[in-house]
Amino acid sequence: MIPTVQEPKKLTEFPMDACCFCRAGTRSWTKIAARPLGEQVACCQGCAKTHKVAEVPSKDEWFKAERDRDRERRRRAGVRV
Ligand SMILES: [Zn+2]
């Protein structure tokens, strides 16, 4: 069980973030006491229930994974990267 917090309402006009485990769009973020605020990652409610804090990627890892997937998606769509 990973502690999470919902993104504040005033930010809901922004696109949802991809859960660090299943990549579903979510407005839920981790709230891990051992991490500073800027190091939390998006994590949906479902994954928060089934994963452990130790399994949560660091923000750098999460960003990198998202970037790689983004690049791969564009490559498949035939866009030059
Ligand atoms: Zn998830």
Neighbours of ion ligand 1 (CB under 5 A): 19, 21-22, 44, 47
The secondary structure of the chain in percent helix, strand, coil, rounded to multiples of 5, reads 40, 15, 45
Give dist(CA 32, CA 70) in Å, integer. 26
Give dist(CA 63, CA 20) in Å, integer. 9
Q: Closest by alpha carbon to 42, among 69, 15, 68?
A: 15
C-alpha angle 16-32-56 in degrees, rounded to nearest 5 = 65
Percent of the chain surpassing pLDDT 90: 74
User: Ligand 1 center to residue 30 CA distance, Å?
Assistant: 11
Is 11 a residue whose pLDDT tops 70? Answer: no
Which pLDDT score is estimated for 12?
60
User: Ligand 1 center to residue 79 CA distance, Å?
Assistant: 28
Q: Express each pLDDT in 25-50 by its tens digit.
A: 999 999 999 999 899 999 999 999 99
User: Ligand 1 center to residue 81 CA distance, Å?
Assistant: 28
Which pLDDT score is estimated for 81?
60
Give dist(CA 20, CA 62) in Å, integer. 6
pLDDT category of residue 8 using cuts at 50, 70 and 90 = confident
User: Ligand 1 center to residue 48 CA distance, Å?
Assistant: 7
pTM for this predicted structure: 0.81
Q: Express each pLDDT in 63-74 by its tens digit.
A: 999 899 889 989
